[in-house]
Amino acid sequence: MKALFYPGCSMQRNARPYLDSLLAIRADIGLELQEIDDWNCCGATEYMSVHRVAAHSLIGRNLALAQAQAVDTDVLTAGCSACFLNLSKTDTQMREDAKLNGTVNEALAAGGLHYDAGSLKVRHLLDLVCHDIGYDAVKARVVKPLYGLKVAAYYGCQVVRPDYDGRWDSHEHPTAMDTLLRALGAEVVDWSLKTQCCGGHMSVIGPEVAFGLIRRLIHGAAEAGADMVVTLCPMCQLNLDAYQVEMNKHFHTDYRVPVLYFTQLMGLAFGKSAKELGIGKEFVDATPALAKIQAEAPKVAEAKRRRRPKPGDGLPMPRME
């Protein structure tokens, strides 16, 4: 299938392995990506906090450029949760709010642009892979099944919520990535934290809050017996990976749960080399976990069991006030 592609700032650099692995697998799954020319930053979760109309206009420029470039597809995809949600939010709110629609288009006109709200289908990359390309097409490409690898599928927040277009089976316990990872041969562990927050921008503005959230997730994944966490978002990857190291310092713990992108696992199962998939750029080394999938047999000898991390006191689960 063809789709317009919005990479976003993170994929360009900090999440380069996400982009590299996506580019490495796209032909296998028949995904043709057309990058939006000269796209700008989506504003993350910050621009919207300062100027509302300007934030929508910032995003509107990307939508307008994409619309102008849309020839044989009306699907616009992004791999980053925040980028995806921003594109989807502006499109949705322009559609629902005539005043906002008029205002944003008036701003866009200052740059000679226009966007017809609703003219593009904004979809997260995971959505395309699972629902458009489909599990069977993915499975058909698997040459090196990930037997023996235990993974925690982590969705984070902004792809499955608020879910303006109703793309997911659940806002709190979605299963699409679980099914995808199973199609690759991996064993998906059962855990309850798959859509809990990674800390978002709190890792910078209030690290203690973020460390608590990161510990809860990492502890939960380790507790469930996962060899790694699999993510679909650069921000989640950064918080759970790079800040896992900081979190360990803060709590005097020694968790070592690597965090990879679902596209990297697809690539491994498709027989690509770790290098080509950007594996090795993570902070928490993924090699020990990946050593497991060299084994062909689904049952891996119970050789060295990783030491169990100390149970942290963690943050409470969602509760009634």
203: nearest Cα among 240, 235, 239, 241: 239
Using a 10 angstrom Cβ sphere, with 0-12 exposed, 13-18 middle and 19 or more buried, the burial of residue 49 is exposed
Q: Which of 197, 226, 228, 289 binds another protein (CB under 8 A)?
A: 197
Q: Which of 146, 176, 183, 213 binds another protein (CB under 8 A)?
A: 213
Q: Are the C-beta atoms of 181 and 194 separated by less than 8 Å?
A: no
Does 40 bind another protein (CB under 8 A)? Our answer is yes
Q: Which of 5, 60, 88, 120 binds another protein (CB under 8 A)?
A: 60
Residue count of the chain, please give it: 321
Does 209 bind another protein (CB under 8 A)? Our answer is yes
Q: How far is the CB of 304 from another protein (least distance, A)?
A: 26
Subset of 172-191 contacting another protein (CB under 8 A):
172
Q: Are the C-beta atoms of 189 and 152 separated by less than 8 Å?
A: yes
Q: How far is the CB of 195 from another protein (least distance, A)?
A: 8
Determine how β-strand 75-78 pairs with β-strand 2-6. parallel
Q: Are the C-beta atoms of 298 and 186 separated by less than 8 Å?
A: no
Name residue 74's amino acid.
Answer: D
Q: How far is the CB of 93 from another protein (least distance, A)?
A: 4
Contacts of 12 (CB under 8 A, 6+ apart): 19
Does 161 bind another protein (CB under 8 A)? Our answer is yes
Does 287 bind another protein (CB under 8 A)? Our answer is no
Subset of 103-142 contacting another protein (CB under 8 A):
103-104, 106-113
Subset of 227-286 contacting another protein (CB under 8 A):
242-243, 245-246, 281-283
Does 7 bind another protein (CB under 8 A)? Our answer is no
User: DSSP assignment, residue 208?
Assistant: H
Segment near another protein (CB under 8 A); pick from 5-13, 134-142, 144-152, 299-307 = 5-13
